[in-house]
Amino acid sequence: MSPSSPPGTALVTGVGRRRSIGSALALGLARDGWDLVLNHWDEYDERVGLDRGASDPDDIADECRAQGVTVTVIRSDLADPAVPEELVAAASMGGSLRSLVMSHCESVDSSILTTDVASFDRHFAVNARATWLLIKAFAERLPQNAAPGQVAGSIIALTSDHTAHNLPYGASKGALDRIVIAAAVELGARGVRANVINPGPIDTGWMDEGIRRWAREATPAGRLGTPDDIANTVRFLLSPEGSWVNGQLLKVNGGFAAG
């Protein structure tokens, strides 16, 4: 997917670890010629204890730059309601922000009986409120009326099916789904295309062997999904060939749990 002319700038959140969907998104978009603004919050990565190197964000950025694109790395906490506007403002400085790809999350397992208010509120602040505020700031910088058929801006967010025993994560991702799909309708006149991707189980360091075996057995494709599988779908959706996909929640999961 090498464009004949540079596609513009993409703001990608959740690019804090090498072993992540966010990393694959950044590298795939760099190969397609997108300039990038990459957001991460290392305190979350440290708190949840997933596999990471101290220099992962900068290493990912350097690998993207090797593709000939411009990359800016911004460390900031999306639980802060001021951060989404700041991120979009920074990504818009060159005047070419065309895409918002949200792969950030707060995800700490708890159930109805064990979730506390602070955790519930933080999940909704990061997963739902920040999604809304990022979309709002992004859309406010687009023309109010795009030409018919023009794609002035593309929005993609990652979601999840989790519900039981992952209550605040699953509930806040459900809110994210509605926010992004609403954007496809409400911002259509501004030339926005907005979609949600549900990647199913991707082994980014959180699986043990039992989960890997269960996920493989539940997937007709016969293997686990990879971050590149999701990145390739995002690359298609951000390409001219993907511009007719809009307002969708796409399960990109190899048929996981389809039977």
* Residue pLDDT, tens place only, 183-230: 999 999 999 999 999 999 998 878 889 999 999 999 998 899 999 999
Q: Is 1 part of a structural domain of the chain?
A: no
Q: How far apart are CA 93 and CA 96, in angstroms?
A: 8
Domain count, the chain: 1
Q: In the prediction, which pLDDT does 4 show? A: 60
Which amino acid belongs to residue 196?
Answer: V
Number of alpha carbons in the 13 Å side-chain half-sphere of residue 19: 13
Q: How far is CA 252 from the centre of its chain?
A: 14
pLDDT tens profile 8-37: 999 999 999 999 999 999 999 999 999 999
Q: Is 4 part of a structural domain of the chain?
A: no
Sign, Cα dihedral of 44, 38, 171, 141: positive
Q: Is 59 part of a structural domain of the chain?
A: yes
Per-residue pLDDT averaged across 121-144, rounded? 98
Is the confidence at residue 1, as pLDDT, over 50? Answer: no
Q: Is 242 part of a structural domain of the chain?
A: yes
Is the confidence at residue 2, as pLDDT, over 70? Answer: no
pLDDT tens profile 159-172: 998 889 999 999 99
Q: Is 227 part of a structural domain of the chain?
A: yes
Q: In the prediction, which pLDDT does 5 show? A: 77
Phi, psi of 136 (to 5 degrees): -60, -50
The whole-chain average pLDDT of the chain stands at: 95
Per-residue pLDDT averaged across 60-66, rounded? 98
Per-residue pLDDT averaged across 102-107, rounded? 97
Write out the residue range of the structural domain in which residue 41 sits.
9-251
Is the confidence at residue 259, as pLDDT, over 70? Answer: no
Reference 23, options 58, 75, 70; nearest CA is: 58
Which CATH number do you get for residue 226?
A: 3.40.50.720
Q: Is 123 part of a structural domain of the chain?
A: yes
CA-to-CA dists, residue 86 to 90, 173, 205, angstroms: 6, 23, 30
The SS3 call for residue 84 is helix
Contacts (Cβ under 8 Å, ≥6 apart) of 186: none
**Angle of the 21-31 helix axis to the 227-238 helix axis, nearest 10:** 40
Q: Is 134 part of a structural domain of the chain?
A: yes
Q: Is 2 part of a structural domain of the chain?
A: no
Query: CB of 254 within 8 A of CB of 223?
Result: yes
